[in-house]
Structure 1
Amino acid sequence: MTATSTHLVPGVELRRVPVGDVTLNVALAGNGPAVLLLHGFPHTWRLWSRVIGPLAARHRVIAPDLRGFGASDRPTDGYDAATLAGDAEQLLAALGETSASVVAIDAGVPGAFLLALGRPALVRRLVLMESLLGTLPGAEGFLAHGAPWWFGFHAVPGLAESVLTGNEERYIGWFLDAGTLGDGVPDDIRADFVAACTGGEALRSAFSYYRALPESDRQLHRATATGRLTMPVMAVGAHPVGDTLSRQLAPLTDDLTSHQLEDCGHIVPLHRPRALLDLVVPFLGAEAEPAADR
């Protein structure tokens, strides 16, 4: 592992960390019990920019660009939930961590869930937000009229990237605006997300998560047929997922706490960071310094 640079977020160090068949770009900050942050689409580690500082006051924060995103490698495969869980496990090992709390959103959630299910001694606490666990029971209401339109568009191999190349800023911008209920995200973070999804290869790897959804769903059903989560789990819902994730988790957990954030879009860590910290910091068992909210 070699340090490559610091970043605009104070106290953050970026490293390139070899993890199995890929090398991940990883943001690191703070000291203490490890907290692993897993982003979704169309994000990079900078999704967590507004919460890293307060978390790092008491924790070692580990925030990678997931495989295929940002400055991490873009392999041709490995975008299913089980492989993502393996990436997370190997990343913690590479950084010398024997346990961590895990916080995940959107595309990061299924992998985080499988990691906790398969390696309960590794995951101390689990926070999951704004995602579905495939077609596990509890999602029937959300999926009554089918998945959101972009799921099908992104799932067709080669289609979306061929249509969108050259129009990435407008397309990714739509998700950032919709995910903050029209408030938008800071210009520098917006530019970072757009850059991370610009070009045919970047789009292909980002959309590969959607193309792996059928395999991820099979993995989730197999894993939950005999397993359940034993560590404390928190589900956080906003718009549009709401309480769907909580409904899916309820029959699979021994210790579940659920929260719904009002007036909050899908991109919770950027849209309502203070509200998220007010939930997560006590749950992780530490106090954080005040953080600015919108």
Structure 2
Amino acid sequence: MSHPQPVTLHRIATNGIEANVAVAGTGPAVVLLHGFPYTWRLWSRVIGPLSASHRVIAPDLRGFGGSTRAADGYDAGTLAADVDGILDALGEPSAAVVGIDAGTPVAFLLTLRRPDRVRRLVVMESLLGTLPGAEEFLAPGPPWWFGFHAVPGLAETVLAGHETEYLDWFLAAGTRGRGVPPDVREAFLAAYTGRDALRCAFSYYRALPESARQIDEATARARLTVPTLAIGAHPVGRSLERQLRPVTDDLTGHLIPDCGHIIPLDRPRELLEILTPFLAAPVEQPASD
């Protein structure tokens, strides 16, 4: 029986930036893509178990954590190219890709653009642009912070000096009040303190219209053909699964009960129970003539 492997951090040049990338284990590659307000440490409770049978690759996305605080490039397409370059640098021709929150559109676009490279896709707790299926979730209006974060220069000016209070609200709401482990909380707070760190985080929201356009264009040209798993919790539920259903050939949906938005920290055991067999299943090869 293989055991969890130690995590090592790597500085990897990709697509005009340097990415901070956590790597652990050997075997088939699996890429883990975080969202806001997290870093690669979002995956702290699942990297160990996954590394017993996979090479786990968990980058800080552009502008987040230890990666370059770039001036631009926060649209999902550019972020997908960043990940593509990380796989090149690590010598991985293919990988399973897992995304949550802001990492979901990145994982989705990478898979649509590079179906030769992505063996399996897992997406969680996010929406994919304006694809149909999320009408019920959006009926009361989008989450309040989307508009606040989208105004250029506003949120980072207002929040500088109050990052702890602001992030703690998201960490409590995303775990239904249970909170995240203290060491992970401290890592998140360190990563999101200061106006420039906040600017990078909010640049993702400012790029959402461009990301939505990229998603519309990609789904107009191609379907998701790789095995895909959509995992929901509170508050997104099955909205992402409903968006994916019309554009995906092989889709499985799961809903984790009594689980907040921050699935990998709130319910890591339940996530692993779903994720591990999905990642381990062989991909069927087309029959040869």
TM-score normalised per structure 1: 0.93
- Pairs aligned (count): 278
What corresponds to 2:100 in structure 1?
105
User: 1:146 offset after TM fit, Å?
Assistant: 1.5
Matched ranges for 1:1-294 at <5 A: 11-285=6-280
Please give the alpha-carbon distance, in whole angstroms, between the structure 2 residues aligned to 1:237 and 1:16: 32
Please give the alpha-carbon distance, in whole angstroms, between the structure 1 residues aligned to 2:128 and 2:189: 26
User: 1:132 offset after TM fit, Å?
Assistant: 0.2
SS in structure 1 of the partner of residue 138 of structure 2: coil
Superposed CA offset, 1:42-61 (max 9, x none): 00000000000110000000
Superposed CA offset, 1:223-242 (max 9, x none): 11121110100000000000
Superposed CA offset, 1:59-113 (max 9, x none): 0000000001001101010000100110111110010000000000000010110
Please give the alpha-carbon distance, in whole angstroms, between the structure 2 residues aligned to 1:81 and 1:208: 11
Letter in 2 for 1:13: T
Superposed CA offset, 1:11-54 (max 9, x none): 00001011121000000000000000000000000000000011
Letter in 2 for 1:82: G
Letter in 1 for 2:241: S
What corresponds to 1:292 in structure 2?
none
Please give the alpha-carbon distance, in whole angstroms, between the structure 2 residues aligned to 1:134 and 1:265: 22
Letter in 2 for 1:53: G
SS in structure 2 of the partner of residue 258 of structure 1: strand
Please give the alpha-carbon distance, in whole angstroms, between the structure 2 residues aligned to 1:182 and 1:215: 33
SS in structure 2 of the partner of residue 121 of structure 1: coil
- Cα distance change, pair 10–167 in 1 and its aligned pair in 2 (3 A): farther
User: 1:10 offset after TM fit, Å?
Assistant: 6.4
Letter in 1 for 2:187: D
- Cα distance change, pair 121–10 in 1 and its aligned pair in 2 (3 A): closer
Please give the alpha-carbon distance, in whole angstroms, between the structure 1 residues aligned to 2:5 and 2:66: 19
SS in structure 2 of the partner of residue 276 of structure 1: helix
Following TM superposition, where does structure 1 have runs of at least 4 consecutive aligned residues deviating by more than 4 angstroms?
Answer: none
User: 1:145 offset after TM fit, Å?
Assistant: 2.1
Where in structure 1 are there 5+ consecutive unaligned residues? Answer: 1-8, 287-294
Where in structure 2 are there 5+ consecutive unaligned residues? Answer: 282-289
Contact in 1 for aligned 2:63/2:201 (Cα 8 Å): yes
SS in structure 2 of the partner of residue 101 of structure 1: strand
